[in-house]
Structure 1
């Protein structure tokens, strides 16, 4: 539904708005919307109601076809909505906002109604918001096409929400918090327009300084990533994503699937999109305040200027805890300059304490010195109420300093009514202010994170040479099996994609097992091969260090153990494999899990038997290039083990990176692979070996493989 060339201007800047279902009846949605539009909209409001001549003093028309409208707001019972929307399409009303509930959120009948609505919208190429939406707002024209109680103050934040109640709460709070909005949309059921459409539209809107959102889901993850990457070149995007449960992992049969859950996919997807993810509503709008300023820090050094020692220490601690920020180291010239202008009792090192009797002039001198320092990329300025300060003048001084130096600043005004004038001055002049020093620092951290986003490049992964036809044959073998899981019997997949494996084979009789062991020429590892026995070591289904002379007996013993454990299990044979010295390397895992919204994710982490206990893993959207894969090897807590910790030799990181890239391309090439584990991928100074394999295939997707 998201289209690169779709214009949403008619939703936020219409000349004439038809309210279908307008009425005078107290407490009705139709009345609330009509009142909201009549109270501030600069365009024309056309009530549509065949049973009334006028609504709230405005003449009515009988149908939307008579309204000659640019946008229609639909507030009629659900059984009439589809017909009304069809009439909108027939009469040339391309922008439609459906407030009515009773669609996909209500059950099978509502879902059928929503499908019909979607079909009508597609037939007439409509920009349709909803159904089950609170509506849309836009400050420049005073548009409040919602049934909420208030319109937001004007500003540069454009806001989308999957919850209508969240919109009303935020709008009510915004006036008190001093945050202004440009456009607001309640997404509703997202039958046609979804988050991707609005990110794309607002990213192109010069009057939108920052895009924020409350999301419960993303309709098309890959389209969202593409739209957000383009938008964030100029416009930051920040969201709160609710629904962090791992319920989606309950049916997972691989380690990767069990760890991934639903939230890890969103974490990887939002990161790939360059979207800043907030952990709470407060954090989201604290970030929005900072990001609205449009200036990003040129360095990570933070200066703290305060008239109160305790809050200065709190800000310093917050900077130390931040991922991207650090306390700036003042040059000698800065310290000398501060020493010339500050009283003897003041602290002229960072954090700068101008002490409690400071007036506006002392703050100005401290800010000018700190902002001129070459290591300062941003400043936190803190004030607690004192009798020596004129707070209106202080607000102007802070804003003047920010304008003069072009350096991001966050004010921490630690008081109530006495500081109201300073807050208002800073709001009008675009300097974010907070009560808590830690929140001020977090605002600056969001700017540093956005700077990283803007500096990113997104190179296409290099092509991987592979025998894709052989992989297609192996995956198709599940069509002849009672289950859809493959194990070490499919190890040729690795060979086809250039991923090294130990010497060995899967055999189905003791004599053949002995012959394979003789070819290897040393002690071997033997594993039962059965799609029904996932954890082989738990049942004694693995033997390590088997001499060639004992291989035949070991074969019989492994099969017997499997039969005793699960008499009806399908036994495909026994894998006879070259032994890999695990003590000489690091056991890692490379895996994949196919997410319904974002497609295949690739996982890398610490492997072996503890993978689900430690969960020292990181995820990316597949396929990944070498640069991303290198980042994955650095992300995990066990990264020092790979690079040589405690006297160990470093592993061959190039080989690890290459394996991650190749697995990620494999799962991107073959949509039928639902889950995949390479565990362990043993990394040594001499290279890597993929020792074990577990994957799940969706037979219905076999035809979609590349």
Structure 2
């Protein structure tokens, strides 16, 4: 892990490309650094002075150049790489490249960025950018950006893959009192990325919360591993753009057509313990409350209000969240009755009546926060002539500190409410006009509590037959196909997943012999790499008696040829028939995501998988706890758990199957898509009835290819 502290605590900063031309980036950088505590050194070969400061022709001309802590580069792209090379040669480690014209422009720009990366590796540079707006660190007054606005000092550190997003936020943050410690515009992330800064801030005692605006995550697995460690102590809140996949082509498998990159991000962020914000308002609401308030010890909260309507709105919002309205104890009710008018109802939500003065508010809130059944509170107040918002804000702040329980407020009004919000700011208590935002902010304190209490476990390593599995996968390479089906059901057996007895028949007589060996009725399925969805063309028959096997074989082949005369038909799979009584058809699937790797899916299966899309996702490798969560998250979970008198299904078998499939695709990254559909679950166990997978033959293990060649 690189030490990036020098980026935020420099004593000497050089601006390469500094100038005094009105409206230029070089001038804006110097102006923004006017309040910086240390030395600022302009570098420009065409100027002797810039804004009254002595200017040097190049970085090597600066006296004691090696003692420069940070170099900010704002020169034309055509010379930027040479300038960074000079910076590295001078012994300077920390560099911010503002300059655009790199990989974001394609072609020549991509080549230029690779040269920049090579220089950074040669000199071991901590390089931010290129194509960024710079960095800010408020404790030292460092504002090495070219945008307008100075954020207040705070304990939130913020990274963004969009410089424009930072530019838009700075003025808003100052207006709303949102304080920051460090802010980084990542730009093209040629060297340093979001993971590097998350690691850096995890050890920063002055960073209480990490916020991130992300458009993409280059290495999803590394992100999960890093963030999982960090979020145990420091909350991370992410707002992720590009959530839709308009125009994406449907994949070959059910899983491929359902699972998108958004599912991978959602699963990956969850597994990493990252809190997801869905809009700009949420990301800063969450950041403020996490930085300013303690966590909820449980989900039971109180609502204290002087207005019935806002109290009802808040109660509705609580009902829509995971939070619950706490039940006051009998002694609390008696205490409240002593301080409230007779017409007041001492239940929660607590309406202390519209004529409440500051004393009634203070006494009521003191009693409520002292109740052991109350983990936190929302205080709502509409303007009246009986109290001043500023006095109420001070009282709320004092009581929150005394009881050490989280409190958020909805002091509804105009300028008076804004002044009260400023009064609440030193107490770390956020104020909202909308009760829904207040509830959402308290809820995130419960969500992060879950993160801190989560015990991470390593995925189980099952005893499997890996070499045999490798040989089966080689069939794809040997047959020069990418798609495999029930003809490789044995692959599941090598990883301990129960499958019915079956075999591939290449003639009607062979089909009959296989059926007789299995005994009893059978299921029969056409096998063709050109026909992926067999049931759609009538390529599957179930509960076939032995005497009908020959005729069914011919019928299935005819249906396949009628559907596609050019299709390659390998034969018909004859399989032990699994009685569907007291069973549920589920699906376990996998799709390889370019950022996160293999994404494992579980849900309701059979023909309903794409109709209901009742699914849950996790990024492989999947632990036992994560697999069990998947079975509990789907809406059809009660069907497995024994709803309405049904005998509970073998959920443990499902959980183990998910883990074994996770191990399979982790062992063989060449599997790009996989469906077990259906995975039939009954009280007696699980059976994989059908299999479909896609492999990338070019990435099959090298040792496998060597074995084949031999």
TM-score greater than 0.5 by the shorter chain: yes
Matched, 1:476 2:440: no
> Equivalents in 2 of 1:79, 1:533: separation in Å?
53
Q: Which residue of structure 2 lines up, in the alignment, with residue 37 of structure 1?
A: 33
2:12 aligned with 1:16: yes
Shift of 1:65: 2.4
Judge conservation of contact 1:139–1:181 (CA < 8 Å) in 2. Answer: yes
Distance verdict in 2 for CA 1:16–1:704, change over 3 Å: farther
User: 1:19-47: CA deviations, max 9, x gaps?
Assistant: 11000111111111111112x11111110
The answer as to 2:524 corresponding to 1:529 is: no
Question: In 1, distance between residues paired with 2:8 and 2:702?
Answer: 40
CA contact (8 A) 1:247 1:261 kept: no
Query: Match for residue 105 of structure 1?
Result: 104
- Where does residue 214 of structure 1 map in the other structure? 213
Counting only pairs closer than 5 Å after superposition, residues 132-531 of structure 1 correspond to structure 2 as 132-247=131-246, 250-323=249-322, 325-531=323-529
Query: Are 2:701 and 1:699 equivalent residues in the alignment?
Result: no
**Residues 1:57 and 2:55 aligned together:** no
Distance in 1 of aligned mates of 2:361 and 2:632: 42
- Which deviates the most, 457-466 or 682-691? 457-466
- Residue 546 of structure 1 and its aligned partner are, at CA, apart by 2.0
Structure 1 residue 500, shift from structure 2 partner: 0.5
Q: Distance in 2 between matches of 1:94 and 1:485?
A: 50
The structural deviation recorded for 1:222 is 1.2
Q: Which moved more, 1:547-556 or 1:396-405?
A: 547-556
Deviations 1:513-548 (A, max 9, x none): 111000111121111101110111222211222221
- The alignment status of 1:577 with 2:593, answered yes or no, reads no
CA distance in 2, matches of 1:447, 1:493: 45
Aligned-residue offset at 1:251: 4.8
Cα separation, 2, equivalents of 1:692 and 1:532: 16
Q: Give, in angstroms, the shift of residue 392 of structure 1.
A: 1.8
C-alpha separation between the residues in 2 aligned to 1:246 and 1:465? 38
Q: 1:582 deviation in Å?
A: 2.1
- Are residue 25 (structure 1) and residue 11 (structure 2) matched? no
C-alpha displacement of 1:398: 0.5
Q: Which runs of 4+ in 1 moved over 3 A?
A: none
How far the C-alpha of 1:248 sits from its partner, in A, is: 8.1
Tell me what 1:686 maps to. Answer: 684
Report the counterpart of residue 708 of structure 2 in structure 1.
none
Change (3 A) 1:294 1:93: farther
Offset at 1:562? 1.2
Q: State the aligned residue count.
A: 700
CA distance in 2, matches of 1:705, 1:307: 73
Partners in 2 of 1:485 and 1:14 — Cα distance?
57
Partner Cα separation in structure 2 for residue 55 and residue 483 of structure 1: 66
1:362/1:294 CA distance change after superposition, 3 Å: closer
CA distance in 2, matches of 1:400, 1:472: 66
Q: Which residue number in structure 2 is paired with residue 47 of structure 1?
A: 42
* Farther-moved stretch of structure 1 (556-565 vs 167-176): 556-565
1:676 corresponds to 2:674: yes
CA deviation string 1:162-185 (max 9, x = no partner)? 111110111111111111111111
Residue range with higher mean Cα deviation, 161-170 or 646-655: 646-655
Query: SS state of the match for residue 433, structure 1?
Result: coil
More off after superposition, 427-436 vs 440-449: 427-436
Deviations 1:478-497 (CA, angstroms, capped at 9, x unpaired): 11223211111111111101
- Aligned counterparts of 1:122 and 1:700: Cα–Cα separation in 2: 30
Paired residues of 1:670 and 1:704 also in contact (CA < 8 A): no
Secondary structure in 1 aligned to 2:630? helix
Q: Confirm or deny that 1:549 pairs with 2:547.
A: yes
Distance in 2 separating the partners of 1:230 and 1:655: 30
Question: CA–CA distance in 2 between the matches of 1:420 and 1:250?
Answer: 49
Alpha-carbon distance between aligned partners in 1 of 2:58 and 2:196, rounded to the nearest angstrom: 29
- CA drift of 1:290 comes to 0.8
Task: Please tell me whether the aligned partners of residues 462 and 660 of structure 2 are also in contact (alpha carbons under 8 angstroms).
Answer: yes
Distance 1:369 1:387 in 2: 24
Q: Note if contact 2:484-2:693 (Cα within 8 Å) is conserved in structure 1.
A: yes
Alignment of 1:559-578 (within 5 A): 559-578=557-576
Q: 1:363 to 1:562 in 2, by over 3 A?
A: same
Q: Any unmatched runs of 5+ in structure 2?
A: 705-710
Moved more, 455-464 or 243-252: 243-252
Tell me which residue corresponds to 2:645: 647
1:209–1:294 contact (8 Å) kept in structure 2: no
Which of 630, 634, 648 aligns to 2:628? It is 630
- Looking at structure 2, the residues matched to 589 and 208 of structure 1 have their Cα atoms a distance apart, in angstroms, of 43
8 Å contact from structure 1 (residues 672, 705) kept in 2: no
Helix, strand or coil at the partner of 1:556: helix
Does the 8 Å contact 2:138/2:182 carry over to 1? yes
Q: CA deviation at 1:412?
A: 0.9
SS, match of residue 349 in structure 1 = coil
Aligned mates of 1:251, 1:57 — CA distance in 2 = 62
Q: For residues 261-319 of structure 1, give each alpha carbon's deviation from its aligned partner in whole angstroms, at most 9, with x where no partner exists.
A: 11000000000110000111111111111111251011111101111111111111111
- Distance of 2:245 and 2:459 partners within structure 1: 30
Instruction: Tell me, in whole angstroms, the C-alpha distance in 2 between the residues paired with 1:251 and 1:117.
Output: 38
Structure 1 runs not aligned, ≥5 long: none
Task: Specify whether residues 259 and 632 from structure 1 end up closer, same or farther in structure 2 by C-alpha distance, changes over 3 A only.
Answer: same
**Equivalent-residue separation in structure 2 for 1:250 and 1:280 (angstroms):** 27
Q: Secondary structure at the match of 2:369?
A: helix
Stretch moving more, 660-669 or 540-549:
540-549
Deviation digits for residues 140-182 of structure 1, max 9, x if unmatched?
Answer: 0111101101121111111111111110111111111111111
Kept in 2, the 8 Å contact 1:396–1:426? The answer is yes
Structure 2 CA distance for partners of 1:659 and 1:288, relative to 1, 3 Å: same
Cα distance in structure 1, aligned partners of 2:84 and 2:248: 39
Within the alignment, does 1:95 sit opposite 2:94 as a pair? yes
1-structure distance, mates of 2:259, 2:11 = 48
Residue 434 of structure 1: SS of its match in structure 2?
Answer: coil
